Amino acid sequence: MRLTTKGRYAVTAMLDLSIHYKDGPITLSEISHRQGISLSYLEQLFSRLRKKNLVDSTRGPGGGYRLSREADQITVAEIITAIDENVDATRCGGLANCQDDEPCLTHELWADLSEQIYTFLSGISLGQLVKRQGVQEVSLRQDQLRQPGINQRSVVNS
């Protein structure tokens, strides 16, 4: 199983949105700035996330994105599948045609692993991730580093 950059960035951006939900609609520019993800890449991801009803958008001044429902109700697996990522450890993409159009010797093993990974990611919500101590610490650091007028070295060294 290989989770691509697209999947990682989508989960990261959605987690950022979850963390900053109190701030009102969040612009992709803000997420881009905090997470170091290109704005054009975020636009592509959020187009897909909006189509799958995981985020709502507001246009105009003060606009941006919000989660379409509570963070506890959105799983990591939903985000990954919304952007057309596949949690699949098989070589054949789950088609069971890995060796001469037939399942290979280890097909069932990798299919079972894929199922376990999907089940694991389905059991983790954005709300659960937001509550993690490590996530809170990273978010605080990112917010401090991104505030205008703050010396990044003094924050890192403190």
Phi-psi region of 64 (alpha: psi -120 to 50; beta: other; left: phi over 0): left
d(C-alpha 158, C-alpha 79), whole Å:
35
User: Residues in the chain with pLDDT < 50?
Assistant: 149-158
Domain range 5-86+126-150, its CATH number among 1.10.760.10, 1.10.10.10, 3.90.550.10, 2.70.98.10: 1.10.10.10
Instruction: Please name which of 27, 5, 8 lies closest in space to residue 17, comparing C-alpha atoms.
Output: 27
**What pLDDT is recorded for position 156?**
41
Rounded to an integer, what distance in angstroms lies between the CA atom of residue 108 and that of residue 97? 12
Residue-range domain boundaries for the chain? 5-86+126-150
Beta bridge partners of 57: 65
Predicted local distance difference test score (pLDDT) of residue 153: 38
Q: Say what the pLDDT of residue 61 is.
A: 84
Instruction: Give the pLDDT score at 91.
Output: 82
